[in-house]
Chain A
Amino acid sequence: MSFRSLDEILNKSEETGKAFWQIVMEDDMNERAVSSRESFEKMRLLYESMRNANAAYNKDLLSASGLVGGDGEKVSHALKEGKLLSGPYVGETIAKALKMGENNACMKRIVAAPTAGSCGVLPAVLLTYEEQKQADMDRMVEAMFVASGIGVVISIRAFLAGAAGGCQAEIGSASAMAAGALAYLQGGSGEAIAHASALTLKNLLGLVCDPVAGLVEVPCVKRNVVGAVNAIASADMAIAGVRSQIPPDEVIDAVREVGEQMPRTLRETGEGGLAATPTGREIAERVLHK
């Protein structure tokens, strides 16, 4: 991609009068030498795959380790019973984030967005929006381009892999991408999109990658929830006119700096944090040597 910063996308959008998502799509057209129709269609297929993956959730499946499964259904059930404080919109988002994370851990088909471990954030946020607001499919695909543009800039200025920069690089990035997409869907300007992602990243700055037994299960599945809910909160702030006091591109640079300082034990090695707790070690022993 030819953009090294969110500012560049915003400037180009201002110069040409084209929307944020169009600038991102044109960059893909240029990179892969494809038409706008081909680029849009490819993104539409990914969105549909997210929808299908969500529909294919099976509450009875358990992951190979037995640690993950059935939680999304519990939240759906509690939501139906009216027991959730967060209400139907956020409650549905929570349930969907868990379900997709569980799909992934149970070897079902998912869309990496940006990674497999963080695959629940974007579909939770986008599918819930589409359902509850009866949004048009094309708008959802446009929002996917917005999300991708943000992800590309993060991949260039910082990282998207837990092994490289901790969980802030995975769930943090997914959350920033989702927040920008939501800000767009709610009619936010390019500036609002960039600040929604900045606010999201600031909230998850420093989050470590400490998977128990090295598996994409604990705490990964549930962190998809915080990524999704954080995206909604940040998009709402941005739409209300709240701005990050630190400019969005500088926030992304801070993610890189923090990630680089993160010890190896907290970067997807399964040797620190939750993985190193007595229970975490016990689980690892049980799972890996069974």
Chain B
Amino acid sequence: MNVFEVMGPVMVGPSSSHTLGAVKIGLTARQLLQEEVQSAEVLFHGSFLATGKGHGTDKAIIAGLLGIKPDDERISDSFRIAEERGMKFSFGGTELRHAHPNSVLLKLVGKGGRKLEVVGSSLGGGGIKIDKIDGLDANFCACYPTLIIHNVDQPGHVAEVTSMLGRYSVNIATLQLYRDKRGGRAVMVIECDQEVPEEMQDRLKKTEGILKVTYLSMEEKDEFPIIR
């Protein structure tokens, strides 16, 4: 651990895994949806289900989905704020296979109609992992600019995407590939050292055989100004 991993962060309590991590999962899911959340079905697994309520995990997830940051005391008021903004939400329990004890499945619908299913887990000390997106493995820490591409499992897509990244001078830190079955739906999860330009994301979206492009930016956005 580094100096500022031991000391800090500034956060709203009570728990780095059950509160801070949960806000981060919500924030990441919101960014992946790339629009305001219209409705959210929140399904807790394991310890999130067992002790989440007492740790404010439910409020923390909703806060993150609204764009409230981990050190913002309005986390405890997130249900009311969600209501004010017309965001619908519900909670339930679920049994996720091979999942970390602190996991949650989020089923989101955006204001513009975008849909997204995310499984995220809180690893302790505020670290998180996005395990699945739309049912396919994703497995990234949300600590790099991350490009997630769902495509038809056919030859050429990896080369196409990686060479396009090269042309935009984006260096690849890690690359993972998964698929549901041969010739079925495949996913590339690419963690990058630089931000992926919007223009490139748009080009990818128009590419034949690419079904969905999801992008997680690391640029700080203050999406949640104080409402009075």
Contact = CB atoms under 8 A, between A and B. Distances in A.
A25 B53 CA distance: 39
Contacts of A108: 12-13, 73
B19 A112 contact: no
Contact of A288 (B14, B20, B50, B75): B50
Query: Main SS of the interface on chain B?
Result: mixed
B76 interface: yes
Contacts of A149: 3
A105 B51 CA distance: 14
B51 A214 contact: yes
B93 interface: no
A1 B1 contact: yes
A276 interface: no
Nearest to B9: A112
B193 to A, nearest CB: 14
B6 A151 contact: yes
A107 B19 contact: yes
A32 B2 contact: yes
A250 B53 CA distance: 40
A49 interface: yes
A216 B16 CA distance: 10
Contacts of A46: 4, 7-8, 10
B201 interface: no
Interface in B55-96: 55-56, 59, 71, 73, 75-76
B72 to A, nearest CB: 8
B7 A103 contact: no
Contacts of B20: 112, 116
A270 interface: yes
Contact of B13 (A116, A151, A156, A270): A116
Interface string A140-162: 00001101110110011000110
A114 interface: yes
Interface residues on B, range: 20 to 34
Contacts of B14: 63, 104-107, 116-117, 215-217
B10 A111 contact: yes
Contacts of A160: 1, 6, 125
Nearest to A149: B3
B13 A215 contact: no
Nearest to A212: B54
A49 B10 contact: yes
A285 B7 CA distance: 34
B26 interface: no
B206 to A, nearest CB: 38
A112 B126 contact: yes
Closest 7 CB pairs of A and B: A104-B13, A151-B6, A214-B51, A155-B1, A216-B14, A107-B76, A28-B3
5 contacts: A107-B19, A109-B10, A117-B14, A163-B124, A215-B54
Interface of A: 1, 24-25, 27-28, 31-32, 39, 42-43, 46, 49, 63-65, 103-117, 119, 144-145, 147-149, 151-152, 155-156, 160-161, 163, 213-217, 270, 287-288
